[in-house]
């Protein structure tokens, strides 16, 4: 899944960890978070629809492509940190865990350890999966060239 930000705009740390969490597997997030602190669900997790927009030619006039299902959730830890998450599909558990991870990652004391233990391993798994899919696609690539290129 490509990133929504244009290539000339870099991601903030929070945008990066939310992108990783949104693409992760709920079981993998739960396993890496370990024992989670107490928290309160403020909103959701609730599935709904979001409008997907496209651009003509990748950068032209925007148009409505269609709707897709997304699940959102907002939680607050007992220490007062609030986390939000939107994930594609109807995975309510992932939305809640991603919101909790977002809240925990906003704590400057916990952030370095959580980045090292949760976000980086998940990002590496996702990159390995992307590379595997790209390798399979490259193996089936067909080269087409015009007859005029074949003449000597």
Neighbours of 41 (CB within 10 A): 13
For residue 6, give Cα distances in angstroms to 2, 11, 13, 78: 10, 10, 16, 36
- Cis-peptide, bond into residue 119, ω within 30° of zero: no
Query: How much is the pTM?
Result: 0.80
Which stretches of the chain score pLDDT less than 70? 1-10, 145-152
Bridge partner residues of 53 (DSSP): 64
What confidence score (pLDDT) does residue 145 get?
66
Domain ranges, ordered by start, for the chain = 13-140
124 vs 135: CA distance, rounded Å: 16
How far apart, in Å, do the first and last CA atoms of the chain sit?
43
**pLDDT tens profile 51-92:** 999 988 878 889 999 999 999 999 999 999 999 999 999 999
What confidence score (pLDDT) does residue 2 get?
46
**What are the backbone dihedrals phi and psi of residue 121, each rounded to the nearest 5 degrees, phi first?**
-60, -40
98 vs 84: CA distance, rounded Å: 8
* Strands (E) located in 78-126: 82-88
CA 118 from chain center: how many Å?
14
């Amino acid at each position: 899944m490509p990133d929504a930000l244009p290539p000339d705009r870099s991601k903030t740390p929070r945008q990066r960890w939310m992108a990783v969490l949104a693409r992760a597997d709920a079981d993998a997030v739960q396993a890496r978070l370990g024992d989670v602190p107490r928290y309160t669900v403020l909103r959701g997790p609730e599935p709904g629809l979001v409008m997907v927009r496209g651009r003509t030619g990748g950068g032209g006039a925007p148009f409505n492509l269609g709707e897709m299902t997304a699940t959102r959730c907002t939680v607050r830890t007992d220490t007062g940190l609030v986390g939000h998450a939107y994930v594609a599909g109807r995975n309510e558990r992932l939305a809640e865990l991603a919101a909790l991870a977002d809240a925990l990652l906003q704590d400057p004391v916990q952030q370095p350890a959580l980045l090292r233990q949760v976000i980086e391993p998940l990002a590496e798994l996702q990159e390995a999966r992307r590379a595997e899919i790209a390798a399979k696609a490259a193996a089936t690539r067909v080269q087409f060239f015009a007859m005029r290129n074949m003449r000597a």
